Amino acid sequence: MLKMTGAAVTHIGQVRKTNQDRVLFSPSVGAVADGMGGHQGGEQAAAITIEILAGLSGQVSKDRFVDTVVAANRAVFEESERPELRGMGTTVVAAALHSEDATITVINVGDSRCYLLRRGELRQITVDHSLVEELVRQGRITEEDARSHPQRNIVTRALGLSDEVEIDVFELDAGHGDRLLLCSDGLFNEVEIDAIAAPLREIDDADLAARSLIDLAVAGGGRDNISVVVLDIVDDGHAEFIREQAESARRPTPKAAAAVFDEVESTSDETPADEPGPDGEGIDQVSVDPRPTDRLPVTDAEEVGDLVDVPESSRGHQPSASSDSRSGGLADDDRLMSEDRGRARWVAMAVIMTFLVAFLGINWFGSSAYFAAEQSGEVVIFRGRPGGILWVDPELEQPTGVAIEDLAPAGVLKLEEELEWTSLEAAIEFVDQLERADPDEAES
Ligand code: MN
């Protein structure tokens, strides 16, 4: 099953007096908010948004994710009624993994960004809602100009400016090894995209990779607050699969037979599964099915009410214990089922081994002898047993050039006994003797 690990880091930069960026990483969601407006306004707007997103826990559906951002917009807008916070707003870029169908939802409002690193290639997922982005799109300035444009901080969309907000929603397939970068403009206005890609490719640890990007932006000038969230998609089933493989390799039983069985299993059992991959995927689907209905009872009204009245309480609102026990139960089921599968595998392997031994034995027995017989008036030597054994029919090994009519009657009688010989030489010798045999000899 896919899960999300990661790290979130923010830095004030070299120039600003306050950090109006806020970041979030939880196993359910990663987010960056870049606040703007007034002395405290920007900080407030970003903090409210991140706190509301931090209230998400467990498996987050796409609808619930979008609803939460809508709620954050409303909460920031309502809070901006206070005179000292008037006009505040914030960008938000956030990502949530849906492990049940292996997809990721990315939400964006404003000019923070989401990038996806997949198989070494870094791709921008979001489109900035900013003045310079529009100028670039109209071909009036280049990407390079945009990074140093005097109006590069002007956003065309943000949370909290009105009671409604237009939200960009991106859906991606998720796979083991995918890495997402969420960042504020304090990173990409200071650091070239190739320089951003390098530590993401080279540094496995998410926290170290994030810190390395912060260092680059600070070194590049740090004219704005800098925020970096690195999210890694990992398949714990993948790890389980590797462990099982290692265990079965250590067992002192015939490996060849195990390999044969694995092949049979992977071609027949797993055909209906969505992806080729670790065994146990089919099982996951079965155990995951009941979850969406389990999870839904949190209503929008409850969520928004909670958050608007007392934003701080949204943290305590996280039912982390229930999500833990749920995933614990799932892991137990997996283990039980994989034990059953393990037992079935050994039984099946024993049956296969028995058949294999019998098959080879019969093949060997059926073709390990030679005998002479008549075919179209000539004595020929067959390899095999007279009349054949099960599916192993005798095969013509060698003609002898001896015609039946040249044989003495005793020789013909002897031939009809269909004596079996253990080697071709012995059979040829026998035919030679038949040729020479005379009636007296045959009778004695
Ligand atoms: Mn910024």
For the segment 49-77, what is each residue's pLDDT rounded down to a tens digit? 999 999 999 999 999 999 999 999 999 99
The amino acid at residue 392 is V
Query: Which runs of consecutive H residues, i.e. helices, occur in 10-61?
Result: 41-54
The band of 322, judged by pLDDT with boundaries at 50, 70 and 90, is very low
The predicted pLDDT at position 260 comes to 42
Q: Which residue has the higher pLDDT, 331 or 35?
A: 35
The band of 339, judged by pLDDT with boundaries at 50, 70 and 90, is low
Q: Which residue has the higher pLDDT, 428 or 249?
A: 428
Q: What percent of the chain lies above the pLDDT cut of 70? A: 77
Distance 146 CA to ligand 1 centre (A): 14
The predicted pLDDT at position 431 comes to 85
Instruction: Tell me the chain's radius of gyration from C-alpha atoms.
Output: 38
The rounded mean pLDDT for the chain is 80
Q: What is the pTM of this model?
A: 0.57
- Write the CB contacts of 34 (distance below 8 Å, at least 6 apart in sequence): 20, 21, 42, 46, 90, 91, 110, 111, 112, 184, 185, 186, 225, 227
Which domains does the chain possess?
Answer: 2-295 (3.60.40.10), 370-443 (no CATH)
By the 8 A CB rule, do 51 and 311 touch? yes
At 282, which helix (H) or strand (E)?
helix 281-288
Distance 34 CA to ligand 1 centre (A): 5
Q: What percent of the chain lies above the pLDDT cut of 90? A: 49
What is the distance between the alpha carbons of residues 36 and 112, in angstroms, rounded to a whole number? 12
Token code pair at residue 436: 């020479």
What is the distance between the alpha carbons of residues 365 and 382, in angstroms, rounded to a whole number? 14
Distance 58 CA to ligand 1 centre (A): 30
Helix (H, G, I), strand (E, B) or coil at 108: strand
Distance 16 CA to ligand 1 centre (A): 10
Asked which of 119-128, 138-147, 338-347 is least confident by mean pLDDT, the reply is 338-347
Distance 381 CA to ligand 1 centre (A): 93
Q: Which residue has the higher pLDDT, 250 or 155?
A: 155
The predicted pLDDT at position 403 comes to 86
The band of 411, judged by pLDDT with boundaries at 50, 70 and 90, is confident
The predicted pLDDT at position 180 comes to 98
- Write the CB contacts of 267 (distance below 8 Å, at least 6 apart in sequence): none
Fill in the DSSP letter of residue 225. Answer: -
Distance 228 CA to ligand 1 centre (A): 12
Helix (H, G, I), strand (E, B) or coil at 439: helix
Asked which of 128-137, 282-291, 339-348 is least confident by mean pLDDT, the reply is 282-291
The predicted pLDDT at position 202 comes to 98
Asked which of 329-338, 366-375, 431-440 is least confident by mean pLDDT, the reply is 329-338
Asked which of 124-133, 209-218, 248-257 is least confident by mean pLDDT, the reply is 248-257
Distance 232 CA to ligand 1 centre (A): 24
Quick check: 307 pLDDT over 50? no
Task: Give phi and psi for 357, each to the nearest 5.
Answer: -65, -45
What is the distance between the alpha carbons of residues 148 and 331, in angstroms, rounded to a whole number? 51
Token code pair at residue 13: 């930069």
